[in-house]
Amino acid sequence: FDAVESLGILGQIYLHQGIEAVRAEIGGGMFALFVVDLVKQQLYAMCDLLACMPLFYTSNSASVTFATNQFDLQETHKLSRKSCLEYLRFGYLPFSSSLFEGVKRLGPGQVITADLATGSIARITEEQLPVYPVISERIGDIDAAVRSLDQAFTRFYSRFNGETVAAGLSGGYDSRLIAAFANKYNPYLVTFNYPGTSEAEMARQVAGMLGNKTHVFEIPEDAPSRFVEDFICGMQTLDNLGSSHVFALLDALAKGKPSYIIDGFLGDTILGGGYYYKLSGGMESTFRVATFRDNYQEGIRSLDTYIDMCLSGYGRAIELPQQITGEKSEDHISRVEVGSLLSQQLKCCHSHADMVELLLYRFRGRCLIACGPISFLRRINTLCPYYDTDVLLTCMSIDKKIRAGERLYNAFWRYRFPGLADIPKENTGGRPSQSDFGYRLTHFRKALQRRIEQRLPPFIAPRAKAGGDLGGFTELYCRSAANKSYFHRAVQQTHHRLHEVGFDSFLNAFNSQDTPRQLFLRMASLAVLLGKAE
């Protein structure tokens, strides 16, 4: 993890093996890297495996300009109406490169070669996503899979050399795994205590079992975040206003004076398995799941199926009123555009589950870039073990039947950290020490309980649940007079920008009391983003 030493090694790799060998040598992590070759008069630019670290660029006949923030490049580029509508519909930009016309974003595996003599782009390689092994060659034995995972994580954490580390500990599987592996470095642990949740108690149990303690950061029930950066992060973390305290968490972690923060970015997607049920689009029947016959080896479906899944935003997409969208079809992302993007991904997958998973890697990474690791990286060195290429490719090489339903995760706990296997998972109540049947039964019982609670009056339904009451947070956030004043100032200040792209009706919709809360927040978020750019 020593940056100076690493750059020296990469320089030698480039000299002897070329630019493509550089990415392979880096392995994992989120990064944007530039290599300047004054002999060849060329500049190379690349980013990480799934392009989670954003790298934007603009070009003309005489120059190429790069930035890791799109707003650093927007001065001479018009705001894109199409991108703004996409942001309002999805809450982030799953398809468009940026909010501005002419500002592009480097994709997964791409490398740009720029000619220093002319200032022009000489070459842009095609996107290169990671490729799944064929199903018959994947690890099908759970003991072998656990050992492979253990080796991958051990290699990652063996790179530390006595540095001080800090990590957020929610009590969930991903954060507790980080705490367990990093425990020998005496990590500084911080836990958010959301009103009406039990996460802090789970986190205390984990820390206590490790012989450590966690510093609890209390989020007041009546004080949702009102800070610009926090608000934007909250909007781009699945509309979770609790997550909008990400910078408060960063401040709390910084008190431990760490050399590195370790973040659980994408852990539940890369190692966990419960997401198959939520986002499968009918991948396995409830009966097959309940009777342990779910194997997730169904063949690739039609391209239209995946286009529909993408355009639904996995449930995040909302219908925009016509007074905002207008009637121009060119203002909307087309099926042809999405299909072109997915056609490359189809070449990397061998099953429907592969496609679903790789879509999640790609689009969830885009959705979450504003929170956690990317925000942290710009302030404190941040490491993401689940996004390490070794760990990612190891998980991709394991049979989906083993990974789904937390089977692999639970087996890993029993094998590697048996002392933590009796602590329940914060959102389901299941324990790794349970049998597969017992864990699955607990999961179904909890899911049924949640559905019943959703139909109960608020004064009857229990409040202790993972993640907090998102609906309650949203109402508090929107009702706050200070928040509303702040939002309306942002809209007024950026009205001229919105006018440029024909969003004059934006103000009317924003001022309407009938505007749905989710749309209201996304409109406010867009205005804050544009205001921040100025």
pLDDT per position as a tens digit, 173-226: 999 999 999 999 999 999 988 766 777 888 999 999 999 999 998 876 655 555
| Exposed/middle/buried for residue 92 (C-beta within 10 Å: 0-12, 13-18, 19+) | buried
Give the residue from 482, 466, 486, 531 showing the smallest Cα distance to 201: 466
Return the minimum-mean-pLDDT range out of 189-193, 251-255, 344-348, 424-428. 424-428
Q: How far apart are CA 521 and CA 91, in angstroms?
A: 9
Q: What digits encode the pLDDT tens for the residues 358-400?
A: 888 877 777 766 566 777 777 888 899 998 889 999 999 999 8
Work out the angle at residue 194's Cα, subtended by the Cα atoms of residues 474 and 366, and round it to the nearest 5 degrees. Answer: 65
Q: What is the pLDDT of residue 65?
A: 94
The 10 Å Cβ neighbour count of residue 130 is: 15
Q: What is the pLDDT of residue 317?
A: 85
Residue 66's H or E segment, with its range, is: strand 64-67
Q: How far apart are CA 392 and CA 441, in angstroms?
A: 29
Spatial neighbors of 162 by CB under 8 A, at least 6 apart, are 185
How large is the average pLDDT for residues 333-346?
89
Q: How far apart are CA 233 and CA 462, in angstroms?
A: 28
Q: What is the pLDDT of residue 529?
A: 83
The pairs formed by 218-221 with CB atoms below 8 angstroms and a separation of 24 or more are 218/193, 219/192, 219/193, 219/194, 219/195, 219/245, 220/195, 221/195, 221/196, 221/476
- Whether 46 shows a pLDDT value over 90: the answer reads yes
Q: Is 484 helix (H, G, I), strand (E, B) or coil?
A: helix
How large is the average pLDDT for residues 17-28?
85
Q: Which amino acid is at 302?
A: S
Q: How far is CA 498 from CA 191, 385, 523, in A?
A: 39, 40, 11
Find how far residue 283's CA is from the centre of its chain: 23
Q: What digits encode the pLDDT tens for the residues 104-141?
A: 999 988 999 999 999 999 999 988 889 999 999 999 99
Q: How far is CA 329 from CA 296, 332, 370, in A?
A: 37, 6, 29
Q: What is the pLDDT of residue 277?
A: 45
Q: How far apart are CA 391 and CA 395, in angstroms?
A: 6
Structure confidence at residue 521 as a pLDDT band (50, 70, 90): confident
Residue 480: phi, psi to the nearest 5? -60, 125
Q: What is the pLDDT of residue 247?
A: 77
Tally helices (H) and strands (E) across the chain: 26, 12
The 10 Å Cβ neighbour count of residue 97 is: 19
Q: What is the pLDDT of residue 72?
A: 87
Residue 144 or 218, more confident: 144
Find how far residue 251's CA is from the centre of its chain: 21
Residue 130 or 228, more confident: 130
Q: What digits encode the pLDDT tens for the residues 468-478?
A: 555 666 777 77
Q: Which residues is 260 bridged to in the sheet?
A: 165
- Where residue 403 falls (left for φ over 0; alpha for ψ -120 to 50; beta otherwise) is alpha
Q: How many residues does the chain have?
A: 534
- SS3 of 398-439: the string is ECHHHHHHHHHHHHHHHHHCHHHCCCCCCCCCCCCCCCHHHH
Return the minimum-mean-pLDDT range out of 303-307, 383-387, 400-404. 400-404
How large is the average pLDDT for residues 4-33?
86
The 10 Å Cβ neighbour count of residue 4 is: 6
Q: How far apart are CA 276 and CA 481, in angstroms?
A: 40
Spatial neighbors of 372 by CB under 8 A, at least 6 apart, are 237, 246, 263, 264, 265, 382
- Sheet bearing 165-168, strands edge to edge: 214-218, 188-193, 165-168, 260-262, 382-383
Which residue is associated with the tokens 């990064």?
A: 31
Instruction: Provide the 8-state DSSP code for 264.
Output: -
- Whether 157 shows a pLDDT value over 90: the answer reads yes
* The pair of three-digit structure tokens given for residue 405, joined into one six-digit string: 């339903």
Relative to beta strand 104-105, strand 56-59 is antiparallel
- Whether 497 shows a pLDDT value over 50: the answer reads yes
Q: How far apart are CA 393 and CA 396, in angstroms?
A: 5
For residues 427 and 466, is the Cβ–Cβ distance under 8 A?
Answer: yes
Q: How far apart are CA 348 and CA 129, in angstroms?
A: 7
Which residue is associated with the tokens 């355009």?
A: 311
Give the residue from 100, 8, 50 showing the smallest Cα distance to 348: 50
Q: How far apart are CA 46 and CA 109, in angstroms?
A: 7
Q: What is the pLDDT of residue 471?
A: 65
For residues 80 and 96, is the Cβ–Cβ distance under 8 A?
Answer: yes
Q: How far apart are CA 170 and CA 202, in angstroms?
A: 7
Residue 428 or 226, more confident: 428
Q: How far apart are CA 494 and CA 408, in angstroms?
A: 49
Q: Which residues is 97 bridged to in the sheet?
A: none
Give the residue from 464, 441, 443, 421 showing the smallest Cα distance to 173: 421
For residues 396 and 269, is the Cβ–Cβ distance under 8 A?
Answer: no
Spatial neighbors of 118 by CB under 8 A, at least 6 apart, are 62
Q: What is the pLDDT of residue 3?
A: 67
- Whether 251 shows a pLDDT value over 50: the answer reads yes
Q: What is the pLDDT of residue 279?
A: 43
